[in-house]
Structure 1
Amino acid sequence: MRLPKKISPDSIKDAIVEFKIDYLKPFEVVLGLVLNEAINDQTYKYVNASNNVPLEIQEISGRRFLFYNENIKFHLTSKAITINCYSAYISWDLYLQEITKVIGLVNKVVSKIKIERIGLRYVSEYENIDLNECLKFNFTFGHPNITSKHYTFNSEFIYKSALIILTLRNLMPVNATNNSKNVSYIDIDVIKKDLEIEFSINEKLLVVLEEVHQYEKEIFFNLLKEEFLQTLQPEY
């Protein structure tokens, strides 16, 4: 299948890349070094989750520090570094640039970090759109005459060299500012495991990032019915 380079609207609510890693040194030391570098570099603002957190990033409650700029936010835990969009998706090319900036900042102060797993997850959101009408997917069970309007479907499978976790949520009721609406979600997580890659800006890491992004696109676009895809104004 020929994959579009761009669709409009893309409806991507969030994009998350997660590196499962081994710091090879105490996490508290790593966090302190990254925090000092972020302060000195002034590329990223940061918040301490134990203090008052700005409303737009309240979801970080419980994490010690969140670093962010106008495009992305990232945080470190003892076993992972996670980077995701600050508010809106900024295209893969710009997102990849931001990912490499974070890698460069961390690698500047902490070397020889090993990546064990890379995950790239895209969550697309569609208001008042029935997934049954736009996806090559049918949800049936023991009573074929019953049609499910609201449902959540989850599947894990191997695609090429990656583990895929696919979650579909159809017309889920959402209450926002006293306005009730139904929202559908297409959630695709592409995971490459058992890696031995250095957490630095190197060709092997960039190849894997491009690979998981390509798999992400292939899964997403192959799910769509052709007539729905055409409503998204695909550009090739």
Structure 2
Amino acid sequence: MLETFVEVHFETHLPAEVAFGSFYQALTQRYTYVPGQAQTLAVPNAHESLQLRTQRESMFLGEETVLRIRDGHISFNSVDGQYLGWERYSQVIQWVLTQLYGTGQIKHFTQVGVRYINGLPWRPFNEQLRVQLLSLPGQPEPERTHIQTSLRAPDGLLVNLTVTDQQPVFNQRERQTLFDVDVVWQTHTPTTGLATLIKQLEHVHLREKEVFFGLLNEDFLATLDPEYE
């Protein structure tokens, strides 16, 4: 596991600056606050043209996770890329969300996303994947292949998938194949219940795992001796 991202989007009753004060008080018992820098973002307006918006992102450092909070959005990462395993990771996430929800500042939740980036020892794609890729007649094997797709599952989840082979990875001598699986739950009817949000978080994580393992050839997967939650 190279990187993990979990994101939760919400709306607050009061302006973001006021809500953040309550979030700060709720989190500092376990996290150290690191003031964020203002970021200028290009976002579309109602007429689909771009406008600039300045947004401040604040960071909270914990022993196991890093939190980043900005207006209507919190993201979770493992510290130094050390994956905790889903059982522990989800417990930490639920604790944080419970603290934020307990402030009374969250009006409702609108989106949950789970994105895992896995790096596996490089092998030709047709030895790794269940689906066999076509080769170009009369041409040598490709030096590098990049596959990217997005789909909407029947249950409404958005699945974004990127697979890249022969990818250099920091602190790794050998190139790897990267599997970047991003699964998102979005709703037009925001939920006000924390229990509903946690249920969706578990559902999204399960789908991410199903997509990742569903890509891999069983023989190749067996060589990895996987332990993946």
> What is the alpha-carbon distance in structure 1 between the residues aligned to residue 135 and residue 224 of structure 2?
31
Q: Secondary structure of the equivalent of 2:175?
A: strand
1:93-148 CA-to-partner distances (Å, cap 9, x unmatched) read: 11110111110121122344311111111110125444442122444476663432
**Gap change, CA 1:45 and 1:144, over 3 Å in 2:** farther
Determine the structure 2 residue equivalent to 1:7.
none
Contact 1:66 1:73 in 2 (8 A): yes
Q: Which has the higher contact order (CA 8 A, sep 6+)?
A: 1
Aligned-pair identity (%): 26
TM-score normalized by structure 2?
0.79
Structure 2 unaligned residues grouped into runs of 5+:
38-54
Q: Does 1:152 align with 2:139?
A: no
Give the number of equivalent residue pairs: 208
What is residue 23 of structure 1 aligned with on the other side? 12
Query: TM-score under structure 1 normalisation?
Result: 0.77
Post-superposition offset of 1:205: 1.8
- Structure 2 CA distance for partners of 1:112 and 1:34, relative to 1, 3 Å: closer
CA RMSD of superposed structures (Å): 2.6
State the 1:212 CA deviation.
0.9
Deviations 1:62-108 (A, max 9, x none): 95421121211111111311112123111111111011111012112
Contact 1:112–1:199 under 8 Å retained in 2: no
Partner residue of 1:49?
Answer: 36
Alpha-carbon distance in structure 2 between the residues aligned to 1:130 and 1:46: 45
Which residue number in structure 1 is paired with residue 185 of structure 2?
A: 192
Task: List runs of 5+ in structure 1 lacking aligned partners.
Answer: 1-11, 51-61
Q: Does residue 1:171 correspond to 2:163, yes or no?
A: no
1:177-212 residue CA offsets vs partner (Å, 9 max, x unmatched): xx8642321011111111522263x2x222211211
Q: Distance in 1 between matches of 2:84 and 2:167?
A: 26
Confirm whether residue 79 of structure 1 aligns to residue 72 of structure 2.
Answer: yes
